[in-house]
Amino acid sequence: MSEGSDGVRLKLNALLNEAGLDPLDPAMLIRFQDYLSLLLRWNARVNLTAIRDEDGILSRHFVESIACAGALPHGIATLLDFGSGAGFPGIPIALCRPEIAVTLAESQGKKAAFLQEAVRVLGISATIYPHRAESLTAQFDCVTLRAVDRMPQAVEAAARLVAPGGWLAVMTSHAGLASIQASAGGSFCWEAESPLPGGDARLLAVGKQAISSPA
C-alpha cells in the first residue's frame, strides 16, 4: 500500500480513538480506504456530498457513521437507510455490522449508481432500492436517517416503515431533536440520546416502536 493509504488508515483510527471508539482492524481499514477512494473519484464529477475533502469525509461522514453503527441496538436483522445519498450511515453499518441485512434507499439516479458500485467494490451484500423510500411497503427492524431533505416529513414517512418493536435511529442535532420526535409520532419510546463525534452538538436519537396489543 502507498504511504498515502497508510496515512489515511492511521488518521481514521486516530479519529476513532479521539472519539472514544474502538479502532478498526487492518482488513476493515482497507475497506474504508477503498470506500474513501471511490467516493473521492465520484465526487469529482458527481455531487455526492457537500463535504468533499478527505479530512472532512473521514471526520464527519466515516467516524459519525461508525459511531452510529456501534450504538445501534443488538438483535437488528433488517435495516433501511432512508435517503442514503452517498451511503451514510448505511454502508458503514453494513461494513461494521455484517449480521444486519441493509437496504440503501436513494431515488437520485447518479447517487443510486454510486451506491451500486460501492456495494460491488466493497463486497457487501446490501440491497439498493433506487426509488423514493416512501414507496416501500416492507417494514424493517431499524430505519436510519441522516441529513435528508425535509427531515420532519422524512421522519414521519420513515416511522411507518419501522416494524412493531423495531427502531427509528435519527442522526441529528440537539436543536432538531424535539421536531424529529414529534414527527415520528406517539408510538415511539425514545432512549437517552448518544452524542456523536465531530461537534455541532450532533447526536443519535433512537426510538423504539411500540408493539401493538392484540385486539
User: 16 and 22 in contact (C-beta within 8 Å)?
Assistant: yes
- 27-85 pLDDT tens trace: 999 999 999 999 999 998 888 888 888 988 998 899 999 999 999 999 999 999 999 99
User: 156 and 184 in contact (C-beta within 8 Å)?
Assistant: yes
**Span 3-209 CATH architecture:** 3-Layer(aba) Sandwich (3.40)
Whole-number percent of the chain with pLDDT over 90: 77
Per-residue pLDDT, 1: 37
DSSP 136: -
Average pLDDT, whole number, for the chain? 92
Residue 200 pLDDT > 80: no
Largest alpha-carbon pair distance within the chain?
63
**β-strands 140-146, 202-209 pairing:** unpaired
Residues in the chain: 215
Residue 3 pLDDT > 60: no
Reported in sequence order, the residue ranges of the chain that DSSP labels E, i.e. its strands, are 78-82, 101-105, 127-129, 140-146, 162-173, 188-190, 194-195, 202-209
Give the phi and the psi of residue 100 in degrees, each rounded to 5: -95, 130
Q: Find, among 120, 186, 113, 184, the residue nearest to 155 by Cα.
A: 184
Per-residue pLDDT, 4: 58
d(CA 73, CA 103): 17
Name the residue ranges covered by the structural domains of the chain.
Answer: 3-209
pLDDT confidence band for 213 (50 / 70 / 90): very low
- 143-154 pLDDT tens trace: 999 977 788 899
DSSP 149: S
- pTM score, two decimals? 0.93
Per-residue pLDDT, 112: 97
Per-residue pLDDT, 18: 94
How distant is the alpha carbon of residue 181 from its chain centre? Answer: 18
3-state secondary structure of 7: helix
